[in-house]
Structure 1
Amino acid sequence: MSDWLRLAADGSLVLSLHIQPGAKRTGFAGLHGEAMKIRLAAPPVDGKANAALCAFLAEFCGVAKSAVVLVSGETSRTKRVRVVGMSPDALARLRLQAVP
């Protein structure tokens, strides 16, 4: 696994992310140090960016929204997110986001 993508003991994946809220559109933006940068169209107000992040990752990974949990960084741009039950295909697509 890469630095930004770690396998937890319970089999879930923990993603290290750098978030840019208030962007024109939501999507992956490549690596930012040891984290994956994600641009979010949602503003950083009242948890909207966190909700948008979890919804985006759930859709991209093909899991339920409840399978994506914010582990740390609720009020920070640096976040850790746990994803449970991701398929091998979704994992492969996620890894490709780090390729420039």
Structure 2
Amino acid sequence: MRVKPGAGRTRVGGRYGDDTLVVAVQAPAVDGRATQAALKAVATAFGLPARDVRLIAGNTSRTKIVELAGEHAARWAELLGS
């Protein structure tokens, strides 16, 4: 996923490149606040508890790799298209 910190509103959807999901968050990119807000937004968008979204790589980068519990390919494709 690609995080856009400091957005006017939190939003999950859209495409960055070929298959990277865009996550815009209001939180600034300070002390990991944008990362935590992005993980929470992704959990909400997929209807998962926050504990089921795990950051794999990219803690200090705008581009992050996350792991979601369960199978969510259809929802991922739907959010990429928005």
Give the alignment's TM-score, normalised by structure 2.
0.84
Q: In percent, how many aligned pairs have the same letter?
A: 35
- In the alignment, the residues of structure 1 paired with residue 81 and residue 46 of structure 2 have an alpha-carbon distance, to the nearest angstrom, of 17
Stretches of 4+ moved more than 2 A in 1?
91-94
Contact persistence 1:50–1:74 (CA under 8 A): yes
**TM-score, structure 1 as length reference:** 0.71
1:94 corresponds to: 76
Offset, 1:20: 0.7
For structure 2, which runs of at least 5 residues remain unmatched after alignment? none
Higher helix share: 2
Determine the C-alpha separation between the residues in 2 that align with 1:20 and 1:41: 8
Q: Which residue of 2 aligns with 1:25?
A: 9
Q: Provide the aligned length of Structure 1 versus Structure 2.
A: 81
Q: CA RMSD in A?
A: 1.7
Q: Determine which structure has greater relative contact order: mean sequence separation of CA pairs < 8 Å that are 6+ residues apart, divided by chain length.
A: 2
